[in-house]
Structure 1
Amino acid sequence: MKPLIVYYSHSENNQKLAIELQSRIGCELREIKEQKKRKDISILMDFLIKRDSRLAPLDFDLREYSPVILLAPIWAGKIAAPMRTFIKKSKDGLIDYSFITICSGGPGQREKIGAELLALTSHEPSALAELWINNLLPEEQRNKIKYTNKFRLKREHFSQFDQEIRFFIEMAMHADQDPKTLT
């Protein structure tokens, strides 16, 4: 079977990470889209009332792929609602999967993401990684929402995460399979 990257990105940061992973692995890339363009206030509403997103129809079958790499932002310590909805709807096809995000970051968040993924799928991910925007910001801007939310990832930022990205790919691809390239 062939690998697949499935992503949701509100600010385009996770989209850029998905494209970077695709270039390193050499696999297909699919975007989770919502039926309506999301406004920032709806992020808060989704969190408060725990509602599912209305996703646009999907044009792929997860059963044709393995492993599946999921990417999405983290909103208030939880996987973004559109990806969470996708996972709920697709959990039977998510046996061999991994999750990575570019997010603000915070202590203990990785464990919470892992627990949420396990609760949604009944399977632990093969690999789980979070790349912290806070690590890219000047000290005086770290952990401040006005800076982390407005941050936009650029190609040159990937060099700062190279080791984490390489390790994630090795774990996600199970190291026994050879991705096209790990550079």
Structure 2
Amino acid sequence: MDSTLIVFYSHTGVSRRVARLLADQQGWPVGEVHEKFALAGRGPLRCVLESVLRLHPRINYNGPNPADFRTVVLVSPVWAFSLSGPMRSFVHGHRDTLQHVAVLMTMGGAGASLAAREVAHILGRQPVLTAGITQKEVEDGAATQRVQEFADALRPGGNRRQPADTAWSPLAG
């Protein structure tokens, strides 16, 4: 069980791009969280309300069993400074079987640390590593280097102490 699994949820495609980039760089398998009842009219307001109210929408998970992996990297968008509802449902449903969890949040500009705290609250323990990547970094290609650094920090003996001017936060490890 020295393996790593990437689990992502993506509403707009940004988190999907980050998860695929991480998978392509590292060769780690990927699982995807889907909303069970994806509504055609699901817009930004509904996503924000879901996050603010800390709702747990029904989901489907397509991918390898997370319990079979030593580390699970969660890739999710930040909505209204909160964890996305579908990822909240995934973490809540799997919290007893997730061994080591790392969190890689995608965001418009801020909120990754608050969303990571929400993951910690659900799990009852701190993630081994957290980071936030902005949509702009994904679009302009800067995310490539940051995602590689995140993966390097997860490896045994990796440097989980990141420079203060980045959005990285080694919470435990």
The TM-score range, normalised by the shorter chain, is 0.7 to 0.9
Distance 1:89 1:20 in 2: 26
- 2:76–2:87 CA contact under 8 A, matched in 1: yes
1:165 maps onto 2:152 in alignment? no
Count of residues paired in the alignment: 154
Gaps of 5+ in 1: 137-152, 177-183
Partner in structure 2 of residue 127 of structure 1: 129
Gaps of 5+ in 2: 159-173
Distance 2:86 2:99 in 1: 19
1:10 maps onto 2:11 in alignment? yes
Q: How many angstroms does 1:59 deviate by?
A: 5.2
- 2:4–2:28 CA contact under 8 A, matched in 1: yes
What does 1:63-142 correspond to in 2, within 5 Å? 63-106=67-110, 109-133=111-135, 135-136=136-137
Distance 1:63 1:76 in 2: 30
Distance 1:84 1:48 in 2: 12
Deviations 1:89-146 (A, max 9, x none): 100122211010221122xx3432332121010121111110123x55xxxxxxxxxx
| Secondary structure of 1:32 counterpart | strand
Distance 2:86 2:109 in 1: 19
Q: 1:85 to 1:71 in 2, by over 3 A?
A: same
Distance 1:114 1:57 in 2: 20
Deviations 1:35-84 (A, max 9, x none): 12241142133134332111125553222112111001000000100001
Q: 1:174 to 1:126 in 2, by over 3 A?
A: farther
Higher strand share: 2
Distance 2:14 2:63 in 1: 23
Runs of 4+ in 1 over 6 A off after TM superposition: none
| Secondary structure of 1:56 counterpart | strand
- 1:67–1:173 CA contact under 8 A, matched in 2: no
User: TM-score under structure 1 normalisation?
Assistant: 0.75
1:42 to 40, 43, 46: 46
User: What is the identity, as a one-letter code, of the residue corresponding to 1:13?
Assistant: V
Distance 2:98 2:104 in 1: 15
User: TM-score under structure 2 normalisation?
Assistant: 0.79
